[in-house]
Amino acid sequence: MPLSSPFADRGAGCSDRGSASLEFLTAGLLMLVPLVYLILTLGAIQSAALATEGAARQAARVFVQAESTAAGTTAALRALELALADHGIEAEGTSLAISCAPRPDACHTRRGWVTVEVAARVPLPLVPPVFDLRVPLAVPVEASATQQVSRFWGAR
């Protein structure tokens, strides 16, 4: 009696030989491509978050050390552009808001508080801006920083 294999009953045209590697590559690519895109997107958002936080902190620092409100605003804008450029973000789409307490009309009062808010939009990676879609192609990122004006301000 000849020994028979349990797989011997298969038809000649139903061979699965060699399809495991094809299935592995297909499933691997279907999972790998979105995962790589997710990593790129999260990296871009994290870089923008670090850039806006650093820009807000540095802009608040240079504003409270400036001689006047006009000089402080100019220095804050320069600090914003520099901090964003370090992370490869264009300063065109960003906004800078400076508010003061306890007197909003006089930012450089001794022991006053200056709050700087920076808002930027991070474009999604690998998405060309030519699409006129109704979905946002950018992620908004915001940061704020508060610095206190020195109690010796104006005593120079």
Query: What does the buried/exposed string (b/e) look like for 46-83 if buried means 16 or more CB atoms within 10 Å of the residue's CB?
Result: ebbbebbbbbbbbbbbbbbebeebeebbebbbebbbeb
Quote the pLDDT of residue 4: 59
Q: 45 versus 123: which is more confidently predicted? A: 45
The domain limits of the chain are: 23-148
Report the C-alpha gap between 10 and 42 in whole angstroms: 49
pLDDT band at 154 (very low <50, low <70, confident <90, very high): low
How many CB atoms are located within 10 Å of the residue 124 CB?
16
Average pLDDT of the chain?
A: 85
Q: Which residues in 1-155 belong to E strands, given as ranges? A: 95-101, 113-123, 138-148
pTM score of the predicted model: 0.76
pLDDT tens-place string over residues 68-125: 899 999 999 999 999 999 988 888 889 999 999 988 888 888 899 999 999 999 888 8
pLDDT band at 22 (very low <50, low <70, confident <90, very high): confident
